[in-house]
A and B are shown apart, each in its own frame.
Chain A
């Protein structure tokens, strides 16, 4: 925690965990999907479910999916904006199990070109979040760093392929985690990096044998949903 976290963030109220954290979950989810969101089926769990409506958690999640930041005055109008541009969304009561963090949501997203992604994320206080799961596999990252997530078959050599590539591109690894569902099954590696991973490297990774899916969270691209500008003249900003 630094001094700007104590005096900050500048945000739309009423709650850093239930509102600002929810915006960040939406925003990071949209970036992980890598394109504008066409459809969002969202499950609310725990305190997000119990007090979410009064805290604007539902609007905040949609605002984030539209690319808004935590201080965007358009957050309270996110439902209207989403409907205007044709982002189809609905909410349901999710049961994520007793072990889930009390402020959690499950987002099933479909992008405008048909890409899909399922995310479970939690708001852990002060606007900070953790992405817990991606497509049913453990993920566990904050969204504060450029993050590379590689789903692969549990075979020897994939970690080395990924880390060698990052070294070659002069990308330093801040944290790294490995998970698998069982020996020889499906595995995932999550790498939080100090630099952005070049697009060419992502293309190369996707072609590797045994690599099933490559998801990348870039912190560079910071564009709100361009469909909003067309309909609202950017008034939400």
Chain B
């Protein structure tokens, strides 16, 4: 698996191949799969993402009762034209919340990279597919870009809250989504990596402190944060704003921060929000 975004950028400059194709060829070679079969498998994954949104039902509640109906609230305000952030960013937020909620309610989702962060990547891809005239093939290619970025983060650092905090879940998902968006809007490999770096920088240090240890609070709402952060990172990149720290070094910083993080805020349900008076009370109530 690719272990540096710099390698992808170099290969792209040498061969003229797009980012997604470099990721696809690398993964097919590793797994001895033919590219066509792999691409169709990725298409099925994209369709599973759109299906996970179509499946949304605002009346569902999670096992603890803490999650459900949030996405519909944003949808109502968006449709009334009353969101401060406007229609497009509102739609991104809405999709991220809806898919995150569905996950908490034991519905079918695509872990990208994890189940807890499953709303981020589909939120930006589906929202831009409604706004622009992208073909399904282009959206599947964007998923390869996201997968390539996530793969590098996994190789250099981690993709699990228990290992590196929420920066390794929502942070990674946001970096993946930012890169995918940048690719769709014509960014080259260096710009894709730059967008991923900007997105991850914004979420470095984010703790994994879920109340009662469940993938509910604050996980669902952090999906909205990660998705919107991806949009701003892609826009900054496309406007020519550069990350002063190179992308691979940003990922390495995430690893260092994750290693230094106290176990109480790495998915143990002990510290942070889980450890607040209210968090502890909720945890007690659920256990009874």
Give the complex CA separation of A51 and B116 in angstroms.
15
Give the complex CA separation of A56 and B108 in angstroms.
13
B265 interface hit (Cβ, 8 Å): no
Residues of A within 8 A of B31 (CB): 2
B56 interface hit (Cβ, 8 Å): no
Q: Are A13 and B106 in contact (CB under 8 A)?
A: yes
Q: Are B63 and A8 in contact (CB under 8 A)?
A: no
Q: Are B115 and A2 in contact (CB under 8 A)?
A: no
**Which residue of A6, A9, A15, A53 contacts B151 across the interface (Cβ within 8 Å)?**
A6
Give the complex CA separation of A21 and B200 in angstroms.
27
Residues of B within 8 A of A59 (CB): 106
A126 interface hit (Cβ, 8 Å): yes
> C-beta contact mask, B213-242 vs A, less than 8 Å → 1, else 0?
111100000000000000000000000000
Q: Are A14 and B111 in contact (CB under 8 A)?
A: no
> C-beta contact mask, B120-156 vs A, less than 8 Å → 1, else 0?
0100000000000000000000011011101100110
Give the complex CA separation of A1 and B24 in angstroms.
14
**Which residue of B38, B144, B160, B269 contacts A50 across the interface (Cβ within 8 Å)?**
B269
> C-beta contact mask, B60-84 vs A, less than 8 Å → 1, else 0?
0011100000000000000000000
**Which residue of B30, B104, B112, B213 contacts A13 across the interface (Cβ within 8 Å)?**
B104
Q: Are A8 and B45 in contact (CB under 8 A)?
A: yes
- Interface members, chain B 255-288 (any A CB < 8 Å): 269, 286
Q: Are A14 and B215 in contact (CB under 8 A)?
A: yes
A199 interface hit (Cβ, 8 Å): no
A55 interface hit (Cβ, 8 Å): yes
Q: Which residue of B lies closest to A71 (CB)?
A: B108
Query: How far is the CB of A195 from the nearest CB of chain B, in Å?
Result: 14
> C-beta contact mask, A63-85 vs B, less than 8 Å → 1, else 0?
00000000101011000000000
Give the complex CA separation of A124 and B245 in angstroms.
32
Q: Which residue of A lies closest to B121 (CB)?
A: A7
Q: Which residue of B lies closest to A76 (CB)?
A: B106
A142 interface hit (Cβ, 8 Å): no
Once A13-B103, A51-B212 are accepted as A-B contacts, the answer to whether A6 and B159 lie under 8 Å apart by CB is yes
Q: Are B106 and A15 in contact (CB under 8 A)?
A: no
Give the complex CA separation of A16 and B169 in angstroms.
12
Q: Are A51 and B213 in contact (CB under 8 A)?
A: yes
- Interface members, chain B 151-207 (any A CB < 8 Å): 151, 154-155, 159-160, 162-163, 176
Q: Are B216 and A50 in contact (CB under 8 A)?
A: no
> C-beta contact mask, B98-116 vs A, less than 8 Å → 1, else 0?
0000111111111111111
Once A14-B215, A51-B269, A55-B214 are accepted as A-B contacts, the answer to whether A9 and B111 lie under 8 Å apart by CB is yes
A47 interface hit (Cβ, 8 Å): yes
B85 interface hit (Cβ, 8 Å): no
Binding site for B on A (CB under 8 A): 1-4, 6-17, 19-20, 47, 50-51, 53-56, 59, 71, 73, 75-76, 125-127
Q: A54-B64, A54-B214 are in contact. List 11 more A-B contacts (CB 8 A).
A: A3-B1, A3-B147, A6-B150, A7-B45, A10-B110, A13-B103, A13-B215, A14-B106, A17-B162, A47-B213, A54-B216
A-B contacts, 15 listed (Cβ < 8 Å): A1-B151, A2-B31, A3-B23, A3-B151, A6-B159, A9-B110, A9-B111, A11-B108, A14-B104, A16-B115, A51-B213, A55-B215, A59-B106, A126-B159, A127-B111
Closest 4 CB pairs between A and B? A13-B103, A51-B213, A3-B147, A6-B150
